[in-house]
Chain A
Amino acid sequence: MDLRPLIPELTLGLLALGLVVLDLVAPPEDKRIVGWAAIAGLIVALFPSLLQVSGGSVLAIYDTYAVDPFAGFFKVVAIVSGILVIGAGLEFFRDHPTAHEGDIYVLIVFMVLGLAAMAAAADLIVLFLAIEWVSLISYVLAGSLKADRKSSEAGIKYFFYGAAASAVMLYGFSYLYGAAGTTNLYALAGRLRTAPPGFLVVAAVLILAGLGFKISAVPFHQWTPDVYEGAPTPIVAFLSVASKAAGFAALLRVLYVALPPGAWIGIVAAVATVSMSLGNLLALSQGNIKRMLAYSSIAHAGYMLIGVVAISAAPGVLGSGISALLFYLAGYVFTNVGAFSVAIAVARATGSDAIADYAGLGQRSPLAAAAMGAFMLALTGIPPTALFWGKVFLFSAAIESGFLWLAIVGILNSVVSLYYYVGVIRAMWQMPPAQPATADGRTEGEITPPVIETPLLRAVLAVTTAGAVVPGFFPDALVRLAQTASLLLKL
């Protein structure tokens, strides 16, 4: 067996095992070294994956594992989010001392490996194993602040929802196997052509339950706000971008390769509509930044599902749903991790995740506030940001493939979303910082201390802001990358 196509996975696996050893020997009071080593290792692991984005397509490990630009792209997304999230975690765990800090960094690297496998799985069984691999690590990570009741609650809740979703999805897989007698996605494609359409619709719905859970699409989203609120913030950032991205990778591969569009396109369009609308409407009334970002992440799953639905016959650069989705995901990784990083920094200073406690941040910490402002406007889709172009591409793909109504739904939702994203901006710049006024009306000291802008925080914010904004001015390179990566291995 030729192991060369698997170099990215092997690198990640060796890295993770090496980190386990390092975690064992590192002194308990200095587990941060594991995090730094993980970042360094992930940066090295980035390169073989980058090569795959522009490389060819092959099936490896007895045709169960696809090595193609599409999977390469998602490996890059997983590794980059891993790097950023560990950076944010090093910041977060300064104030949340836990004996398991080192283990958490190790688990993140293991999870990156699982995410890579999710994007590349070309066989239902490999896919299921990859998803379970990722899920089990997610449950542990979500509950990793064992002293914190909310974190434990988040872990348990996530576990129960996830276990149920996986079971339903596995049931869906069994339908496909029953109909076709194979678990290989590419073999399924041919054999399912003659299957009765109603049967395929049932299978598609069951599979959507599992993957919809991973991308937090309505109606499989109920875990999202509670887990986001309770789990440690860097873990939430990781779930909201990397886990979601890998979910989309698996969804695209299963739906595009194995199932005929007729079986799922209407259902996915409906799920997209409901996710966008419900996510945005529920986000309106949130007062906690993490819950707000949870509903926002549900809404964004809805926008991205537009890209899944938009299969046009002969897409140009503008009009390909899949490359629009990839572009959007790339921008979303930086924007969302950036927003969560600011949330970590603010919570460090104020001890609170309430949006109201962002009051006066524009005065106290202009840099963090400016970055947060940029992330909020980017999430709304205001130019010039990466997500603005992402939305343009998604909507054009919808129009090009005859889903004008879906584009209109997306636009109406963007308007609604402005209200709550601007709510954060309003707090940061328009609300006065909470200050006790003395008798003569003057203010004396600030009760809310400024955000401590450590070099690490600055670095994370600089990278995420650049990733969120620079493609807004110069989207060309990312457009080309997304286009290359949209070549899903098709046999």
Chain B
Amino acid sequence: MVSGLLSLVVWIPIAGLVVLLALPRGQVRAIRVVALVTTLADFLASVWAAAAFDFSQAGTLQLTEQTRWIPSLGVTYHLAADGLSLPLVLLTTILTVLCVIYSWRVDLRPKEYMILFLLLETGMLGVFLALDFFLFYVFWEVSLIPMYFIIGIWGGPRRIYAAIKFFLYTLVGSLAMLLSILIVYFHSSPRTFDMVALFQQKPLAGDLHLAVLAFWGFFLAFAIKVPMFPFHTWLPDAHVEAPTAGSVLLAAILLKLGTYGFVRILLPLLPAAFHALAGMVAVLAAIAAVYGALVAMAQTDLKKLVAYSSVNHMGYVMLGVAAAAAAQGQPALRNAATIALNGATMQMLAHGVITGALFFLVGVIYDYRAHTRGVNDFGGLWERLPVYTGMTMLAMLASLGLPGLMGFVAEFSIFLGAYQIYPAFTVAALAGVVITVAFFLWTIYRIFWGPLNARWAALPDLDGRETWTLAPLAALMIAVGLYPAPLVGTINAAMIEIMSLVR
């Protein structure tokens, strides 16, 4: 086994960033090539890490690297991957490559643009791989700053408002989390910031009062990032104003930082507190599922529609997580909880792939063709853009959970598991699925069927670069949809391990 593989994955983007800093501004082509080569190299490094990963032991943390970082505080540089983080890392590296390909035509300050994307990539990968609270926190914050600039400089007309709103919301959450990290640290013995050790110790297990307080700190950070109802109001603004590649990473990866935090940290660290508040989380999740779908249905702006559908889909994820938390201390429900948690993790990946594709598709029509996102402005596009129509329909059908595509596997597991724990909330959330089916079909109808709007008679279909951006995602939707077993097996092993810590 090669050691340092995960460090390689985390730090390759920074190496590319340094090269970019040295390049003169005018060398636009060289800048793009360096960015592409860096992200591709990082993707290959993550594939290498996956090859070195022992999938038969996907529940245990592997490829571990642990060295002292700040000895006087006991803070370590601790990276490791398991069946939960490895797929998310792969998703991150793939999507960043696709974002660079898609952004080839960004002409406004390309140097800064690519530098920020590479910095963002390191931040996101670091969050998924860090197993020391301070390392985790630093990466968490590092992923915040580039996104602020990406929205704030390359965004739409209301970018300044959207960017600062995004920054303020997430900073409230992260500072609350910092407080909780410190509370947990001061009650651990021996005192440590190492997550693995803290999951075993469960420092606040004896003091439910304090545990609930610490829970709220973490909850605020993760719930704002997810975003859960009622903390979701930054999301439509950020998504609508962000440039296409920014929206893609925001939806596909940054939202997952929140759900990942719930699964990786809150479930094993504060199971009793989470158990006590699982009902509240489930209620908020069910509200998000239904409310997100209803609001999405009312949108005429395609980007906003996809943004609200994210609120709805993340509601499903949180329902699965809440169900798992509710099963703490009840061995009879352990199995159902694991299924729900499998579904939740699967949904993180599925939503990443599908919604990532959807935001690309919105960008394709908005950035370089119609320059409008009004759902009602289109009509009959399939005549002119058959490939685009096919891709969009595939992604939308996958998003609404059509069997045989990636989204179905995830949603089915969530509802199967959650029903045995929270039947009422599950039924309520299922109403969200029905609405989702309705609005996506309605959207497909409005954009692609009917008579061709004469304004769009001259639109060209996808060009090569756009096809290259979308084909890998489409392939993933179909492949995982048809044959989910390997991925589900990997996730399942990790979830069994996490559920064994929820005691």
Contact = CB atoms under 8 A, between A and B. Distances in A.
A377 B145 contact: yes
A316 B191 contact: yes
A400 interface: yes
14 contacts: A318-B186, A382-B145, A382-B171, A383-B142, A392-B182, A399-B179, A399-B182, A407-B179, A414-B171, A415-B175, A418-B171, A430-B159, A479-B70, A480-B72
B422 interface: no
B168 A419 contact: yes
A429 B145 contact: no
A384 B142 contact: yes
A280 to B, nearest CB: 13
A444 interface: no
Contact of B179 (A318, A383, A395, A430): A395
A475 B74 CA distance: 12
B183 A395 contact: no
Interface in A395-435: 395-396, 399-400, 404, 407-408, 411, 414-415, 418-419, 422, 426, 429-430
Contacts of A347: none
Given A399-B182, A415-B172, 6 more contacts: A319-B186, A380-B171, A395-B179, A396-B182, A396-B185, A419-B164
Given A382-B141, A396-B186, A476-B70, A411 B168 contact: no
Interface string A466-491: 00000000111001100100000000
Interface string B153-195: 1000001100110011001100110110011011000010000
Interface of B: 70-73, 137-138, 141-142, 144-145, 148-149, 152-153, 159-160, 163-164, 167-168, 171-172, 175-176, 178-179, 182-183, 185-186, 191
Contacts of B142: 383-384
A404 B70 CA distance: 25
A480 B73 CA distance: 10
Nearest to A396: B182
Contact of B182 (A316, A388, A395, A475): A395
Nearest to B193: A318
B149 A429 contact: yes
A474 B182 CA distance: 19
Most B Cβ at <10 Å: residue of A404, A407, A430? A430
Given A382-B145, A399-B183, A483-B72, A430 B167 contact: no
Interface residues of A, number: 33
B182 A479 contact: no
A479 B160 contact: no
A317 interface: yes
A476 B178 contact: no
A313 to B, nearest CB: 13
A474 B137 CA distance: 15
A427 to B, nearest CB: 10
Nearest to A319: B186
Contacts of A383: 137-138, 141-142
A382 B160 CA distance: 20
Top-8 shortest CB links A-B: A411-B175, A383-B138, A479-B72, A396-B182, A383-B141, A430-B152, A476-B70, A415-B172
A476 B141 contact: no
Contacts of A479: 70, 72-73
Given A429-B152, A430-B153, A430-B160, A408 B179 contact: yes
Nearest to B74: A317
Contact of B186 (A380, A392, A399, A483): A399
A97 B33 CA distance: 50
Contact of A475 (B70, B160, B183): B70
A235 B185 CA distance: 41
Contacts of B167: 418, 422
Contacts of B137: 383
B405 to A, nearest CB: 40
B145 A392 contact: no
A430 B146 CA distance: 13
Nearest to B149: A429
Contacts of B148: 422
A319 B73 CA distance: 11
Contacts of B153: 429-430
B185 A318 contact: yes
B164 A422 contact: yes
Contacts of B191: 316, 318
Contacts of B160: 426, 430
Contacts of A396: 182, 185-186
Contacts of A380: 171
Nearest to A417: B171
B426 to A, nearest CB: 36
Count chain A CB atoms within 10 A of each CB in B71, B176, B179, B185 and give the residue with the most.
B179
A391 B175 CA distance: 11
A480 B70 CA distance: 11
Contacts of B152: 426, 429-430
A316 B72 CA distance: 10
Contacts of B186: 318-319, 396, 399-400
Contacts of A422: 148, 164, 167
B159, B171, B183 interface centre (most CB from chain A within 10 Å): B171
Contacts of B159: 430
A411 B182 CA distance: 13
A186 B198 CA distance: 44
Nearest to A429: B153
A399 B163 CA distance: 32
A221 B160 CA distance: 33
Contacts of A429: 149, 152-153
A317 B145 CA distance: 29
A317 B72 contact: yes
A213 B163 CA distance: 37
Contacts of A399: 179, 182-183, 186
A388 B175 CA distance: 11
B73 A418 contact: no
B71 A476 contact: yes
B178 to A, nearest CB: 7
A431 B152 CA distance: 10
A391 to B, nearest CB: 8
B442 to A, nearest CB: 37
A483 B160 CA distance: 42
A426 B168 contact: no
A214 to B, nearest CB: 29
Contacts of A316: 191
Q: Which of B73, B142, B153, B191 has the most CB of A within 10 A?
A: B73
Contact of B138 (A319, A377, A384, A407): A384
Interface string A108-130: 00000000000000000000000
A429 B164 CA distance: 13
Interface string A316-357: 111100000000000000000000000000000000000000
Nearest to A318: B73
B399 to A, nearest CB: 33
Nearest to A474: B70
A285 to B, nearest CB: 15
A224 B183 CA distance: 35
A304 B145 CA distance: 25
B106 to A, nearest CB: 16
B451 to A, nearest CB: 38
Contacts of A319: 186
Nearest to A472: B138
A388 B149 CA distance: 20
A395 B178 contact: yes
Nearest to A413: B175
A103 B268 CA distance: 64
Given A317-B73, A383-B142, A415-B171, A392 B149 contact: no
A392 B72 contact: no
Given A377-B145, A383-B138, A411 B72 contact: no
A395 B176 CA distance: 12
A392 B171 contact: no
A300 to B, nearest CB: 16
B18 to A, nearest CB: 14
